[in-house]
């Protein structure tokens, strides 16, 4: 959402968004109908009670909507991670100079959905992990792909899955997702929370985000709610 006003998000970038969708289809191998599960995961015996994970991968509106539609996920908050509390402001983050990435904090029940399953949705639905410092029409470090791990297990499982996907050449390009320790998560203004639920006809949303929800429902019907 940096380098653009909200109106630009809506109307002037629709053509770029369509081009970005086409590029995603070219990056992902359509011949691979079966998307691999992570070879390793965090066991239910280790992850007891509700857990949280923080992902970043482009505009947080779409990321939030995707994970809100997963069974076992009870809450998703849009915000910022990677920088300091002093710069965790939308307009400041939009400069791309704060170290922050637009992120989502996901609260989930590991008895209903595992960390590995969340990773699978993150890589195959929520965003394109092969794009460096951008996502679709949005460019800048604040749109980079990052997993902010809260502990060693989250880091290990995510790193193993990235290696697994790269080795299997699931994408035509290497995954560029960063793994960084979670040092803080700062909630964005209320205006950004549940944005797609409140603005389903917003042009940027229609072009960039609603197709993700359709993909989620089609490819992962057992997880969709």
Q: Catalytic positions, please?
A: 59
Structure tokens of 184?
Answer: 């803080």
- In degrees rounded to 5, what are phi and psi of residue 185? -130, 130
Q: How far is CA 200 from CA 189, 196, 206, 207, in A?
A: 19, 5, 7, 11
Q: What does DSSP assign to residue 182?
A: -
Nearest to 149 by CA among 125, 188, 176, 178: 178
List beta partners, residue 106: 53, 76
Find the helix packing angle between 210-219 and 60-68, rounded to 10°: 30
Containing H/E element for 186?
strand 185-187
Per the CB < 8 A criterion, the answer to whether 71 and 216 are in contact is no
Phi first, then psi: give them for residue 199, nearest 5 degrees.
Answer: -135, 60
């Amino acid at each position: 959402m940096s380098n653009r006003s909200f109106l630009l998000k809506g109307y002037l970038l629709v053509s770029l968004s369509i081009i970005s969708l086409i590029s995603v289809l070219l990056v992902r191998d359509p011949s691979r109908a079966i998307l691999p599960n992570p070879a390793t995961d965090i066991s239910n015996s280790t992850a007891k009670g509700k857990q949280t994970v923080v992902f970043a991968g482009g505009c947080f509106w779409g990321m939030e909507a995707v994970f809100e539609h997963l069974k076992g996920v009870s809450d998703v908050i849009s915000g910022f991670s990677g920088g300091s509390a002093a710069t965790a402001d939308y307009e400041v983050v939009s400069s791309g100079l704060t170290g922050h990435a637009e992120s989502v904090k996901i609260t989930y029940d590991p008895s209903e959905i595992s960390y590995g399953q969340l990773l699978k949705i993150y890589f195959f639905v929520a965003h394109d992990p092969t794009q460096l410092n951008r996502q679709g029409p949005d460019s800048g470090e604040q749109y980079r792909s990052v997993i902010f791990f809260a502990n060693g297990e989250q880091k290990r499982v995510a790193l193993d899955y990235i290696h697994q996907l790269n080795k299997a050449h699931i994408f035509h390009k290497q995954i560029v997702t960063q793994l960084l320790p979670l040092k803080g998560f700062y909630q964005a203004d209320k205006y950004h929370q549940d944005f797609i639920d409140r603005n389903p006809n917003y042009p940027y949303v229609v072009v960039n985000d609603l197709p993700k929800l359709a993909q989620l429902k089609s490819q992962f019907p057992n997880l969709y709610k």
